[in-house]
Structure 1
Amino acid sequence: MNAMWTHDVEWLAAATPGPEAGNRAWHPGDGTVLVEAGRHWDLVSVPRQLGLLTLDILWYDPVRTPGPTLVDSAAHRVGFLVPPDPDFRWYGEGLRHASSGSWVALPPPDRSASPLEWIVPPGGSGALHSPLILRLALREAGETLALLEPVSED
């Protein structure tokens, strides 16, 4: 097991009630681990098309690398890890916010656990998406998608 993988797993497993259980489940490579949100991070989940466009917008910043980002191919959703903040309000069509009291299935940091995979894996440093920057990118992506929707002829 390489040092980078070990560091990433330790960072993710720190959010579980029993970090050793997370490490054991991830080690074989095909398992997911249920991790409680709201301890070290929250998850903002959006429909896949909105999420992928949002991530593309976030990559335009040459100074900042986007934070950990998941894709769930079965649910057609993209999830962004953000710092836990009970006072920050997330809103939008199709948006889900997993915080304290919510459990999130996470794949190993270095490979998929079908249908879940990291688009941007956790770096082990604890760096997350900035809520304000993510909110702006979600808004820009939503506006772009609205412009691209075909006009109905009612």
Structure 2
Amino acid sequence: MTIPGTKTAVEWLVAVAPDPEACRFEWERSPLGVTLLPAGRRWDVLILPGELGQATLDVLMLLLDKPGPVLADFGDSRLGFFVPPGTASRWLGTGVRGAGRGTWIVVPYPGRATGGVRWLVLPDGEGTLTDPAVLELAMHEAAACVVAKEGRTS
């Protein structure tokens, strides 16, 4: 079964590859279902620690009709939020890593299960990204929730 919008999501993602057609061709046939794509062209990725990242995504889902794409690594120990290009080089935040120009990230094929990285929010193929200011506000709210939760369990 194909998830609606998969074709446009794939085309949007591979457009950043040095050879988009070859990338798409290999990606579709890869038994691992992942490829490496360069950040910094159409998007950057801000990578948050798992607990904060998940809480941030929960807040974003309340604030926005549709946030930008979000990746999770194996075990959800890190979440990657797709933001406009240039964001990573300007972002200041403890514990937040940025993947921008000159960085390559592992990206799973939309809608296909992999053994590691997976989509929590699929790309829509139209270029929707999370606004960095909204992401920052969501992170502040999420951090407060995480701290409050830790206070109740300790």
The TM tier, using the shorter chain, reads: 0.7 to 0.9
- Runs of at least 5 residues in structure 1 that lack an aligned partner in the other structure: none
For residues 86 and 129 of structure 1, the distance between their equivalents in structure 2, rounded to whole angstroms, comes to 11
Tell me the secondary structure at the aligned position of residue 5 of structure 2: helix
Q: What's the CA shift string for 1:34-67, capped at 9, x where partnerless?
A: 1111000000001111111101001112x53111
Specify whether residues 48 and 101 from structure 1 end up closer, same or farther in structure 2 by C-alpha distance, changes over 3 A only: same
Is it true that 1:42 corresponds to 2:44 in the alignment?
yes
Report the CA distance between 1:89 and its aligned residue.
2.6
Alpha carbons 1:111, 1:118 under 8 Å: kept: no
Q: Calculate percent identity across the aligned residue pairs.
A: 40
- Runs of at least 5 residues in structure 2 that lack an aligned partner in the other structure: none
Q: Which residue of 2 aligns with 1:146?
A: 147
Q: Which residue of 1 aligns with 2:68?
A: 67
Report the CA distance between 1:22 and its aligned residue.
2.3
TM (norm. structure 1) is: 0.87
In terms of fraction of residues, the more helix-rich structure is 2
Equivalent residue letter for 2:43: W
Q: What's the CA shift string for 1:84-111, capped at 9, x where partnerless?
A: 1258632323210010011111000112
For residues 83 and 74 of structure 1, the distance between their equivalents in structure 2, rounded to whole angstroms, comes to 26
Aligned length: 151
Report the CA distance between 1:20 and its aligned residue.
1.6
Specify whether residues 148 and 108 from structure 1 end up closer, same or farther in structure 2 by C-alpha distance, changes over 3 A only: same
Equivalent residue letter for 1:17: P
RMSD: 2.3
Alpha carbons 1:112, 1:118 under 8 Å: kept: no
